Amino acid sequence: MPENEKYDVVVIGSGAAGMACAVASAELGLSCLVLEKAEKLGGGTAISAGALWVGANHLNAAAGGSDSPAEVIDYLRYVGAGGLDAGRMRTFVEEAPEALKFFEACGIPFQLTQRIDHYGMAPGAKAGGRIVDTPPIAGADLGEYRDRVLLPAGRLFRHSGNAMMKLGGPNNLAAWDETLLTEHEGQDLRGFGAGLVAWFVRLAAARGVGIRTGAAVERLTTENGRVTGVVTTAGERIEVRRGVAIACGGYESNPDLVANYEALPGFQSMFPDSVTGDGLVMATEIGAAVRVIGNNLSVFMGFRNPDDAPTGGNAPCRLSGTQELTARHTMVVNRYGRRFTDETFFQAAAPSLRVFDVDTREQPNLPCFLIFDAQYARGHSFAGRKPGAPIPSWVASGSTLSAVAEALGIDPAGLQATVDRFNADARQGTDSAFHRGETARGLTRFAPGATLGPIEQAPFYGIELHPTSLASAGVLADQRARVLHVRGMPIPGLYAIGNAAARTETGSGYQTGFSLASAMTFGLIAARDMAQTNRGTGT
């Protein structure tokens, strides 16, 4: 390898943001190198659901759906609330449909899904037509990269997210077609986020993009205020003619940065161990501004499944809020044994997790705990297992609720009182405390009868849930994805896309598909800006 290499574009990170930028750069005639710190490609995208939220898109229009940019803006204003930057938001609304067309023309076969807008009562909300994903792609189609794309634990990724919902959803494995799943495994099909990454990798490889794994970047190089390249931890210097795109995700797996920017004791990362905020550190070293998204609602509750842990690493935090917590015969309580939220919609819990009691000097709802009974264990999936499978030994269990409470440090009397009230409500079909299943919000619309069920049959079970989230802070970027200096002007030659950038285009709220759609959109925008950039002026 030469001591000094030169490319038009260097992309740091190989998730949807990085690979979209790389594919677009190559399509626009630029030479491009992708540097991935981990040994496998894909980052957080690879273990995600792989869904993209694109309002007023051409696929929906072709299917007879009705949508408009004005309605998309109304919905984003509601969901994003005070965390929105109006310019970035409008750019996202205008450019996301074009990005979808661009990458479809490059060869990604996007498809509409059955997924819905989470806030059904919001202005501009739609009951479908805005969330797309990709069909599974065969590993053989990746050639030399077949074994170099990160695959998540479990079997869900063998389908597309769309197909998974048709089969009964992630918490209804008993309804899945085992024959079809086995067939997909035999064909090495990859769906969900792993499939989305694979589609992008296939396009990048076909266009001659250089892709390296195990290639961590240590710092950016500059000359006269302009970013001129990168230096890897191995000491390699790589120069750029047009720019560097930081696309290596947030800092969720870096405990120090989590402590700096999140107010969530007990935080566990839902991302791979490699997502440690390298981009934020490198950018701030040369003066980049950081923006914290206030009232970040992209907060989930979950737990690590030890059986999913890779060799020598941690299992990502399982998002229990989209699976266990929506099922019957479950509830979430704090250490006092009290419920504090509608469990079916994790965003309703986010503000409660951050509540601070000024008298007791604590956040009373952390830690918190999932409580369930034998009825749940028989009828639903726990930690990705088949319904009826034995509950693992790392889950507290007992013949009484008190036994579980004592094992977890929960007040037994408080838990019993809460369960008594919950059971009475469940039998009447209504949640008098938090109206679970009664609101027009949620990833899925639940009728109370579909989510309420008494917790009354031994053995009883409990496990501590940990907060996990998308990073609240990120590098501040403008409408052209250019990183902004703390003094307000763009840093020439430096871009931030995906979760490395502050989510000012979608703001405080969460909606399935926001993150990946933004990654794809601003990845294209960054590539276009670099294609138009004059090396000498940075404009």
Domain stop point among 430, 450, 469 = 469
Mean per-residue pLDDT, 234-249: 97
Mean per-residue pLDDT, 132-148: 96
Q: How far apart are CA 101 and CA 99, in angstroms?
A: 5
What domain count does the chain have? Answer: 2
Residue 142 sits in a domain whose CATH number is 3.50.50.60
Instruction: For residue range 159-198, list pLDDT tens digits in order.
Output: 777 676 666 666 566 667 778 778 888 899 999 999 999 9
Share of the chain above pLDDT 70, in %: 95
Average pLDDT of every residue of the chain? 93
Instruction: For residue range 282-340, list pLDDT tens digits in order.
Output: 999 999 999 999 899 999 999 999 988 877 778 888 889 888 999 999 999 999 999 99
β-partners of residue 189 are: 138
Residue 49 lies in a domain: yes
Domain stop point among 432, 450, 469 = 469
What's the predicted TM-score (pTM) here?
Answer: 0.94
Specify whether 127 is located in the same domain as 162.
yes
Instruction: For residue range 52-82, list pLDDT tens digits in order.
Output: 999 999 999 999 999 999 999 999 999 999 8
Q: Which two tokens stand for residue 487?
A: 């003094």
Q: Does the structure show a pLDDT above 50 at 538?
A: no
Confidence of residue 348 (pLDDT cuts 50, 70, 90): confident
User: Any idea what DSSP says for residue 230?
Assistant: E
Specify whether 368 is located in the same domain as 497.
no
Specify whether 169 is located in the same domain as 48.
yes
Coil/strand/helix, residue 251: coil
Specify whether 363 is located in the same domain as 454.
yes
Share of the chain above pLDDT 90, in %: 81
Confidence of residue 444 (pLDDT cuts 50, 70, 90): confident
Specify whether 460 is located in the same domain as 505.
no
Residue 258 lies in a domain: no
Specify whether 444 is located in the same domain as 486.
no
Residue 434 sits in a domain whose CATH number is 3.90.700.10
Residue 13 lies in a domain: yes
- Contact call for residues 314 and 323 (beta carbons, < 8 A): no
Q: What is the pLDDT of residue 185?
A: 86
Q: What is the pLDDT of residue 445?
A: 73
Confidence of residue 537 (pLDDT cuts 50, 70, 90): very low
Length of the chain equals 539
**Helix/strand/coil percentages in the chain, nearest 5:** 35, 20, 45
Residue 365 lies in a domain: yes
Containing structural domain, residue 363? 300-469
Instruction: For residue range 2-58, list pLDDT tens digits in order.
Output: 457 899 999 999 999 999 999 999 999 999 999 999 999 999 999 999 999 999 999
Residue 211 lies in a domain: yes
Q: 192-206 and 16-27 are packed helices; what angle lies between their axes, rounded to 10 degrees?
A: 20
Q: How far apart are CA 518 and CA 503, in angstroms?
A: 9
Confidence of residue 121 (pLDDT cuts 50, 70, 90): very high
Query: Residue 189: CA atoms inside 13 Å, Cβ hemisphere, count?
Result: 21
Q: Which two tokens stand for residue 237?
A: 């210097």
- Contact call for residues 472 and 261 (beta carbons, < 8 A): yes
Residue 450 lies in a domain: yes
Confidence of residue 536 (pLDDT cuts 50, 70, 90): very low
Instruction: For residue range 483-522, list pLDDT tens digits in order.
Output: 999 999 999 999 999 999 999 999 999 999 999 999 999 9
Q: What is the pLDDT of residue 1?
A: 39
Q: Does the structure show a pLDDT above 80 at 443?
A: no
Q: CA 413, 373, 440, 131 torsion: positive or negative?
A: positive
Q: Write the single-letter amino acid at 78.
A: Y
Specify whether 448 is located in the same domain as 476.
no
Specify whether 376 is located in the same domain as 388.
yes
Q: Of 137-146, 311-320, 333-342, 524-533, which gets the smallest average pLDDT?
A: 311-320
Specify whether 438 is located in the same domain as 391.
yes
Q: What is the pLDDT of residue 532?
A: 94
Specify whether 439 is located in the same domain as 506.
no
Residue 110 lies in a domain: yes
Q: Which two tokens stand for residue 485?
A: 């200096």
Q: How far apart are CA 461 and CA 471, in angstroms?
A: 31
Domain stop point among 469, 504, 524 = 469
Indicate the Cα dihedral angle 9, 272, 477, 294, nearest 10°. Answer: 180
Please compute Rg for the chain using Cα positions.
Answer: 23
Instruction: For residue range 404-418, list pLDDT tens digits in order.
Output: 999 999 999 999 999
Specify whether 97 is located in the same domain as 181.
yes
Q: How far apart are CA 327 and CA 488, in angstroms?
A: 48
The greatest distance separating any two alpha carbons of the chain, rounded to the nearest whole angstrom, comes to 73
Specify whether 366 is located in the same domain as 492.
no
Residue 371 lies in a domain: yes
